[in-house]
Amino acid sequence: METLIDDWRARIAAAAGSGGKLAIRGGGSKCFYGGPETGERLDVAAYSGIVAYEPTELVVTARAGTGLRELAATLAEKGQGLVFEPPHFGAAATVGGMLASGLSGPRRQAVGAVRDFVLGVKLLNGSGEVLTFGGQVMKNVAGYDVPRLLAGSLGTLGVVLEVSIKVLPLPVAEKTLRFALDEAAALQKLNQWGGRPLPISASAWHDGLLTLRLSGAAAAVAAAERELAGEVLADADAFWDSLREQKQAFFLGDAPLWRLSLPSVTPPQALGETLIEWGGAQRWLRGGDARRIRAAAAKAGGHATLFRGDDALKTEVGVFQPLTAPLARIHRHLKQAFDPQGVFNPGRMYPGL
């Protein structure tokens, strides 16, 4: 593995010296996300393998090229998992891609996001230095914010080498219920239920149907099922998997896919065909006018991301909500600190970074 790092150091130095750029690529399952790739491909998938796993300590450390399927299978043997349910979007999905994309699945509304479970990271920066941040325990304060910072950075700050992640036991019992509700009524119910001690681990509304997953102790799940009195959904695992992996009909086709992050109490926006997750806080939208979508999201106190779209549209409107001047300065300073020559993944987050 050290030979790989030495080779990458040489390529980084060559790119930095010549003004070249490197496009970091692991499994490639999420290359659609973010701005178009530019530069020479730096394939990092070979840097793989589980470095350490302590089930009693609820922590696993894996190299960035480790497949998410491999990691999930290893954790499942001990009844544990990545409870934030990171989407794979393909069999080649890796730990590094999980961190770089910062994407979480349906259970994010109950347990938190990827960044909340990252304990430590080993990183190869734009100067060819191997840097270590954080550790393997939640109370390790020194450098702890840097691992969280890397979640969602799309490889713009460096090559992730290893990640230490907090894992948790898988739920003892689960039940999925379904309710026939329009969008406004579904949002009202989700916010009402969200303020009560119900074991809700995921929710999804689309086309007049609200789907709710209950997870936890068997007694708690059974009690909530009786109280809510919805229709039990058969083959629920397949439903949540297809939602996480965006295999449902809503996500198919060529129309741009927008991801809106909004306060959960935000009323229906009438911007187009919508699918709602995370208790109302995440809303997917097909097609629509970019300016209208972003204006509506900002007015509601949120933001809109062009999650899937062709390169022309990405270039025209940008993938992420435009930064304010203070935030743009912070991003530039971070880029300068980690990648002073601007070698890694230029433009994947914002133009000029």
* Residues 49-88: tens digit of each pLDDT: 999 999 999 999 999 999 999 999 999 999 999 999 999 9
E strand residue ranges, 225-328: 231-232, 257-261, 274-277, 282-286, 303-308
100 in a structural domain: yes
352 in a structural domain: no
182 in a structural domain: yes
The structure's pTM equals 0.93
Judge contact between 29 and 47, C-beta under 8 A.
Answer: no
Based on the fold, state whether residues 6 and 128 are members of the same structural domain.
yes
317 in a structural domain: no
Please choose, from the candidates 42, 117, 2, the residue with its C-alpha nearest in 3D space to the C-alpha of residue 344: 42
Based on the fold, state whether residues 231 and 285 are members of the same structural domain.
yes
User: What is the CATH number for 92?
Assistant: 3.30.465.10
Based on the fold, state whether residues 18 and 132 are members of the same structural domain.
yes
Give the span between the Cα atoms of 79 and 171, in whole angstroms.
9
Give the span between the Cα atoms of 200 and 178, in whole angstroms.
13
Q: Read off the pLDDT of residues 84-142 as tens digits, 9 standing for 90 and up.
A: 999 999 999 999 999 999 999 999 999 999 999 999 999 999 999 999 987 654 444 44
pLDDT greater than 50 at residue 282: yes
Based on the fold, state whether residues 29 and 120 are members of the same structural domain.
yes
**14 — alpha (psi -120 to 50), left (phi > 0) or beta?**
alpha
Based on the fold, state whether residues 235 and 213 are members of the same structural domain.
yes
Q: How confident is the model at residue 144 (pLDDT cuts 50, 70, 90)?
A: very low
The token pair at 224 is 């909530």
Split into its structural domains, the chain has a count of 2
Which residues constitute the domain of residue 51?
A: 2-169+329-338
Based on the fold, state whether residues 205 and 300 are members of the same structural domain.
yes
Based on the fold, state whether residues 132 and 53 are members of the same structural domain.
yes
